């Protein structure tokens, strides 16, 4: 299998707090990887390090055979290849739904307005938000915002989609609509890296599940292996705790 992104010996410290310790990790083409783990285990930081919203303290991030951390120049081109979906949506408040999905295409990918609009409409249809293209973000519900955010990321034609707890800021009844969109994307063969607390979703959609604990990857494997037959004691502990809550 072809590796799209490979992370080697990645570490990240905030002051004296070591959030990520010597992480080795990779994402293969067409794969859906779910990262699970308790709060503060470093899963979001890992995701944010991968698209360099946080600058790693050490290690390498290899994309297409090149270490992205070596050369500032490739940084922005690299980021366009990663679609990011945030917990807090982060839609551009001054743009309406359509223009949220167009501005990156026009300014970064230098597409024409017509082309950008066509592509934006295509993905807004995928997420079922094509009716709302004139709405401003403040006029939408959380689930709608998140679906637009997914369309915005898809409009850049990324090779990998990164999801940073996409449903954690949503009301329970809106979680479903976002997960439905993500499920469809996963089925379409898109490469996805998802940080999530939705164990059921991870179990169902993931090709591989990564369990993080205290800044290290404690265990990784197929969903069956992680959820039904975890090798590590701490994985078992974590799953017991979260499944009890649900």
Partner 1 sequence: MELNVIVKTISKYWPMFLRGAGVTLYISTIGTIVGFIIGLLIGVIRTVPVPEKGIKKFILKIINAILSVYVEVFRGTPMIVQAMVIYYGSKQAFNIDMSPLFAGIFIVSINTGAYMAEIVRGGIVSIDKGQFEAAYAIGMSHNQAMINVVLPQVIRNILPATGNEFVINIKDTSVLNVIAVTELFFQTKSVSGINYKYFETFFIASVIYFVMTFTVTRILRYIERKMDGPENYILYANQMQVQTPEDAVRKNSDKR
- Tokens encoding 50: 């991968």
Interface size with partner 1, residues (CB under 8 A): 37
Give the nearer residue to partner 1 in terms of CB position, either 81 or 214.
81
| Exposure class string for 11-44: b at 16+ Cβ within 10 A, else e | bbeeeeebbbeebebebeeebbbbbbbbeebbbb
82 binds partner 1 (CB under 8 A): yes
Q: Least distance (Å) from partner 1 to the CB of residue 213?
A: 26
Convert residues 45-64 into a mask of x (bound to partner 1 by CB under 8 A) and - (unbound). ------x-x-----------
Give the nearer residue to partner 1 in terms of CB position, either 48 or 226.
48
108 binds partner 1 (CB under 8 A): yes
- Tokens encoding 190: 């898109």
103 binds partner 1 (CB under 8 A): yes
* Stretch of residues binding partner 1 (CB under 8 A), selected from 14-22, 73-81, 185-193, 227-235: 73-81
Return residues touching partner 1 (CB under 8 A).
51, 53, 76-77, 79-80, 82-84, 86, 88-96, 103-104, 107-109, 121, 130-136, 139, 149, 152-153, 156
């Amino acid at each position: 299998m072809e590796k799209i992104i490979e992370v080697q010996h990645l570490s990240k410290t905030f002051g004296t707090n070591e959030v990520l310790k010597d992480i080795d990790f990779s994402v293969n083409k067409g794969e859906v990887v779910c990262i699970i783990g308790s709060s503060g285990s470093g899963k979001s930081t890992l995701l944010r390090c991968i698209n360099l919203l946080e600058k790693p303290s050490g290690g390498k991030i290899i994309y297409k055979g090149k270490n992205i951390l070596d050369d500032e120049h490739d940084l922005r081109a690299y980021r366009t290849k990663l679609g990011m979906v945030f917990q807090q949506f982060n839609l551009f408040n001054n743009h309406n739904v359509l223009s949220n999905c167009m501005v990156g295409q026009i300014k970064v990918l230098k597409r024409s307005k017509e082309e950008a609009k066509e592509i934006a409409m295509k993905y807004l249809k995928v997420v079922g938000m094509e009716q709302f293209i004139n709405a401003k973000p403040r006029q939408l519900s959380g689930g709608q915002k998140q679906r637009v955010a997914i369309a915005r990321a898809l409009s850049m034609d990324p090779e990998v989609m990164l999801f940073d707890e996409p449903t954690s800021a949503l009301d329970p009844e809106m979680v479903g609509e976002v997960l439905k969109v993500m499920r469809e994307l996963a089925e379409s063969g898109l490469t996805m890296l998802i940080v999530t607390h939705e164990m059921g979703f991870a179990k169902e959609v993931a090709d591989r599940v990564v369990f993080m604990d205290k800044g290290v990857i404690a265990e990784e494997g197929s969903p069956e292996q992680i959820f039904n037959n975890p090798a590590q004691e701490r994985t078992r502990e974590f799953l017991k705790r979260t499944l009890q809550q649900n």
